[in-house]
Amino acid sequence: MRKIGKLNWAFSGGRIPFDSTGEEPVFNSHDKISVLNTSEEEANIEIFIFYGNQAPVGTYEVKIKPQRLRKIRINDLIDPEAVALERNYGCYVRSNIPVVVQFSRIDTGQNANAIMGTMAFPADKK
Amino acid sequence: MRKIGKLNWAFSGGRIPFDSTGEEPVFNSHDKISVLNTSEEEANIEIFIFYGNQAPVGTYEVKIKPQRLRKIRINDLIDPEAVALERNYGCYVRSNIPVVVQFSRIDTGQNANAIMGTMAFPADKK
Amino acid sequence: MRKIGKLNWAFSGGRIPFDSTGEEPVFNSHDKISVLNTSEEEANIEIFIFYGNQAPVGTYEVKIKPQRLRKIRINDLIDPEAVALERNYGCYVRSNIPVVVQFSRIDTGQNANAIMGTMAFPADKK
Amino acid sequence: MRKIGKLNWAFSGGRIPFDSTGEEPVFNSHDKISVLNTSEEEANIEIFIFYGNQAPVGTYEVKIKPQRLRKIRINDLIDPEAVALERNYGCYVRSNIPVVVQFSRIDTGQNANAIMGTMAFPADKK
């Protein structure tokens, strides 16, 4: 199957909440990046996290096997440095081959109401 | 009317929930793909489902009549194989003529709160 | 100010709910199309509604004044024909000058929980 | 790091709600614009607010430091003029260098249920 997607993705509306009232693990508050690699090659992606008041952190390196989906919890990005709780962040993802990236959020910290936002902006030049 | 849309669509953030507290059929938990064919020809689409830890499944073949909308429940994709509950998945849709594809989710399994996310990424090369 | 946006927009995930428990008029269940015309000319848009099992309906014609926003309730589209309640629909919007179109939904019919989805796909060729 | 994003962004579905039952400041009802500047230069953006029944207001000028994220509350745009509560609005953002813009809303005024929508339309000509 051919490669579907783009090399560069970004979003600016991230925030990892602190409180959580949902049941683990499905409804725990979280931010996730879902990466789809439709190709027959392994995809190597680099993730950079941007903050409001400090230098960006990275490179977080993740591999996605051929013809597989991979969900990456922002909470699980710990090398070179854990992503801070309760702080706004933006994210830039670049890949060596075209992939499809989607960002999703579930926040159960406010009266057990679930909030989900989902967005990713394909940032390829041209 | 002219053809509106793209030939290739993909999303990476799918998940079919298991529990459901909503009333059937409107608020049952579900993932749906909505396909709009504005043209005067029948559209033939092929759907491929990708998982984290097994080979992709497909081809699911669906036809959309000229100048019609069609909603496809992921739950209803059973040939060649039912899509697994409680598993993350990604989806690639390709069509023989331009169509508009939108992905939506309602999840009523968590305290009867409804969650809706909606996204599709037009993945046409150019 | 220059013209911002696209000439053609479409979405496939529309549905006007029947029940509503919210207070009028803000939280009444509804589907809305928001059109932004940043230019110094009047925009003339044509709206076409597509269904699953009948021919599309239109043309609904709407004007947007120069440098103004206009919200169009799908419920208010009555000429040539009211849009049916409790039915899935898709929508194609075309304009004589570039505009920005966003589709939003609030559904308060299910336990007073609000659902909002928002999407529009810029469907310009090329 | 290279510049990621677009020079022009717009959305048409804004509305600042009046009531709020959430705890300050995280769940207070609000509309926010998140701007990500991945480049090594400062970004200067100009924001214009459009209404249904009056002339657009602007220019609101905001700077985003190199390699930083900035969240801008619509409520905080007060020069040259505060954005009106309880009124629909659209927004056009232009930047001197490519940035990534995301629009998000949390509305806690209706039975403490949170609503989040997120969208921005990259409006670059080409």
Using alpha carbons only, give the angle C15, B106, A27 rounded to the nearest 5 degrees. 155
What is the structure's pLDDT at D65? 98
pLDDT over 70, % of chain B? 71
At residue C122 the predicted structure's pLDDT band, cuts being 50, 70 and 90, is low
D59 touches chain C (CB under 8 A): no
Show residues of chain D in contact with A17, CB under 8 Å.
26
A22 touches chain D (CB under 8 A): no
Is the pLDDT assigned to residue C32 strictly greater than 60? yes
Is D67's CB within 8 Å of A55's CB? yes
Residues D64 and D20 sit within 8 Å (Cβ to Cβ): no
Subunits in contact with chain B (3 or more CB pairs closer than 8 Å):
A, C
Chain A interface, best mutation among B7, B12, B19, B54, by max A CB count within 10 A: B12
Q: Give CB contacts under 8 A, 24+ apart, made by A15-19.
A: A15/A86, A15/A87, A15/A88, A15/A89, A15/A105, A16/A74, A16/A75, A16/A83, A16/A84, A16/A85, A16/A86, A16/A87, A16/A89, A17/A85, A17/A86, A17/A107, A17/A109, A17/D26, A18/A85, A18/A86, A18/A109, A19/A109, A19/A110
C103 touches chain B (CB under 8 A): no
Structure confidence by residue, pLDDT tens digits, D50-91: 999 999 998 999 999 999 999 999 888 999 998 877 788 999
Whole-angstrom distance between the N-terminal and C-terminal Cα of chain A? 24
pLDDT over 90, % of chain D? 40
C83 touches chain D (CB under 8 A): no
Residue D75's φ and ψ, nearest 5 degrees, are -55, -30
Is the pLDDT assigned to residue B113 strictly greater than 70? no
C104 touches chain B (CB under 8 A): no
Better-predicted residue by pLDDT, C29 or A57 = A57
Subunits in contact with chain D (3 or more CB pairs closer than 8 Å):
A, C
Which DSSP category does D74 fall into?
G
- pTM of this structure: 0.86
Identity of the residue in A22, A100, A113 whose CB atom sits nearest the CB atom of B12: A100
| Rg (alpha carbons) of chain A, rounded to whole number | 15
Residues B37 and B96 sit within 8 Å (Cβ to Cβ): no
Please tell me the distance from the alpha carbon of residue D10 to that of residue C39, in angstroms, as a whole number.
13
Is D10's CB within 8 Å of C36's CB? yes
Nearest CA to D73 out of D39, D33, D105 is that of D33
Span A110-116, average pLDDT? 40
Better-predicted residue by pLDDT, A79 or B123 = A79
Show residues of chain B in contact with A122, CB under 8 Å.
121
C111 touches chain B (CB under 8 A): yes
Structure confidence by residue, pLDDT tens digits, A1-48: 778 888 888 888 887 665 444 444 444 556 889 999 999 999 999 999
C27 touches chain B (CB under 8 A): no
What is the structure's pLDDT at D70? 96
Better-predicted residue by pLDDT, D3 or D49 = D49
Show residues of chain B in contact with A116, CB under 8 Å.
115-117
| Residues 6+ away with beta carbon under 8 Å from A17 | A29, A85, A86, A107, A109, D26
Alpha-carbon distances of C83 from C6, C17, D71, rounded to whole Å = 25, 11, 39
Q: Pick the range with the lowest mean pLDDT from A10-14, B38-42, B104-108, C75-79.
A: B104-108
Nearest CA to A92 out of A60, A68, A65 is that of A60
Please tell me the distance from the alpha carbon of residue C68 to that of residue C45, in angstroms, as a whole number.
14
C118 touches chain D (CB under 8 A): yes
Q: What is the DSSP pairing of strand D30-37 with strand D88-110?
A: antiparallel
Is the pLDDT assigned to residue D24 strictly greater than 70? no
| Domains of chain B in sequence order | 6-122 (2.60.290.11)
Element (H, E) at A47: strand A43-50
Q: Pick the range with the lowest mean pLDDT from B52-56, B81-85, C17-21.
A: C17-21
Is B100's CB within 8 Å of C90's CB? yes
Is B1's CB within 8 Å of C48's CB? yes
Span B16-40, average pLDDT? 67
D111 touches chain A (CB under 8 A): no
Show residues of chain B in contact with C48, CB under 8 Å.
1, 38
The token pair that represents D124 in the structure block: 């670059």
Show residues of chain C in contact with B69, CB under 8 Å.
12, 50-52, 88-90
Residues B91 and B11 sit within 8 Å (Cβ to Cβ): yes
Structure confidence by residue, pLDDT tens digits, B57-77: 989 999 999 999 999 998 889
Span D108-123, average pLDDT? 50
Residues B13 and A34 sit within 8 Å (Cβ to Cβ): yes
Could you give the 3-state DSSP secondary structure of residue C76? helix
Is the pLDDT assigned to residue C26 strictly greater than 80? no
Is C69's CB within 8 Å of D92's CB? no
Q: Which residue of chain A has the CA closest to B19?
A: A26
Identity of the residue in D69, D104, D112 whose CB atom sits nearest the CB atom of A50: D69
D27 touches chain C (CB under 8 A): no
Show residues of chain A in contact with B85, CB under 8 Å.
none
B121 touches chain A (CB under 8 A): yes
Please tell me the distance from the alpha carbon of residue B117 to that of residue B106, in angstroms, as a whole number.
7
Q: Assess: ipTM above 0.85.
A: no
Q: What's the gap in Å between the CA of B51 and the closest CA on chain A?
A: 5
Length of chain B: 126
